[in-house]
Amino acid sequence: MLLLSHGCQSRLLAFATFIVACGALSLPSQTPSRPESRNPVKHIPNIGLGLWNSKDDDATKAVGYAFSAGYHHLDGAAVYDNEPFVGTALNASSSPPRHRYWLTSKLWNTAHRPKFVRPALEKTLSDLNTTYLDLYLMHWPVAFRPDTPPERQVVDQDTSILDTWRAMEDLVSANLTRYIGVSNFSPRELDALLKDAKIKPFAHEFETHPYLQQQEWVDWHHKHDIKVIAYSPLANSNPTYHDKYPKLDPILADRFWNELALDKNITTAQAILGWGIQRGTVVIPKSVHQKRILENLASVNVSFTNDELAKIAQQDRRARFNDPGRSWGVELFEGLDGGSNRFLLDHEL
Ligand SMILES: NC(=O)c1ccc[n+]([C@@H]2O[C@H](COP(=O)([O-])OP(=O)(O)OC[C@H]3O[C@@H](n4cnc5c(N)ncnc54)[C@H](OP(=O)(O)O)[C@@H]3O)[C@@H](O)[C@H]2O)c1
């Protein structure tokens, strides 16, 4: 038994009190056990293939193109309705061994009740033909009642974010996922989670791109050692977003970005994604075209001078494209640019 002097004990006590006082931010970072005997990918790769809107066989082919191009990271979700097609690609003999790539999926809103969390992940694993994920995200900070049809979803007031998170924490100890994280949280929601979580979120996936830079929000995560995964990194290129701000140029046709790319002898998509990577976010562009999948990967070699970065900072439009809050009857992104509590005037865009 270790005997400590009185002075040493009180120093230890003071240290312990300090640790407790630090609250959520002193949570141990996730130290995953190894779900498979081989060493899995150590760090989340800074670029991954997005899979929303990649349908059926297109999803299978896109994953094949990504692997042969040299991607080691896929970003999917149960609600994208294509996990069996992604699983077909993962099962192909040409695919790399499982421990060589990073696999993210997301828990859908109808499975937030604690008893549904593990079955939801097990279904995803079975669809993907794999035994573990690298990262499982709570897709939205919103629970839906599980017993309502998709076209009439009702918010489930009886299930809190923390209830769901606790069940997700159990998935790490069950070796079903190496890390857990969140997506689309507001500062208030994340703060509340950090106060009571046993496991700190490894990553936060949210919309950010040159038209919605949210630099302070990104910096906050980096300061607290939470990875930022930048979704829709090509801004309004996703056709689902085309009607949202009709006055805003498609980013790939934006004069500023076209000229910057031309100057550097790269494509506009590479310039935009390269900026996302240089600012320390993980970018997950989606494409089903082999040429574009290859093109996007080359953005890892792009770099900007401080002068260029300052000019890019001025290109922020605070334009958020993905906000289903109104149709769900909830307020999302409180306090953030383009969030439900901030109404942009047309002339701002
Ligand atoms: N957590 C969340 O709530 C959430 C929400 C949104 C998205 N995400 C994730 O983030 C991923 C990426 O976001 P996103 O799909 O919204 O949009 P995105 O990746 O920013 O843009 C995708 C669009 O850009 C086109 N594209 C891709 N590369 C291109 C290139 N080099 N040149 C020209 N066009 C190009 C694609 O067309 P083609 O496919 O026709 O090539 C597609 O229409 C998603 O797939 C998903 O994995 C997560």
Q: What is the mean pLDDT of residues 312-338?
A: 95
Task: Give yes or no for residue 322 CB within 6 A of ligand 1.
Answer: yes
Task: Give yes or no for residue 109 CB within 6 A of ligand 1.
Answer: no
Residue 114 has pLDDT above 70, yes or no: yes
Ligand 1 atom nearest to 52, measured from its CA: 45
The predicted pLDDT at position 151 comes to: 80
Least confident of 28-32, 62-66, 246-250, 323-327: 28-32
List, for residues 271-324, the tens digit of each pLDDT value. 999 999 999 999 999 999 999 999 999 999 999 999 999 999 999 999 999 999
Task: Give yes or no for residue 282 CB within 6 A of ligand 1.
Answer: no
Ligand 1 pocket test target in 231, 252, 270, 275 with most atoms within 8 Å of CB: 231
List, for residues 147-171, the tens digit of each pLDDT value. 888 788 899 999 999 999 999 999 9
Query: How distant, in Å, are the alpha carbons of 15, 151, 318, 319 from that of 147?
Result: 48, 12, 36, 34
Percentage of residues in the chain having pLDDT higher than 90:
82
- Compute the distance between CA of residue 216 and CA of residue 224 in angstroms, rounded to an integer: 12
| pTM of the complete model | 0.90
The predicted pLDDT at position 150 comes to: 78
List, for residues 118-148, the tens digit of each pLDDT value. 999 999 999 999 999 999 999 999 999 998 8
- Which residues are catalytically annotated? 80
pLDDT band at 12 (very low <50, low <70, confident <90, very high): very low
Q: What value does the mean pLDDT of the chain take?
A: 89
The predicted pLDDT at position 341 comes to: 57
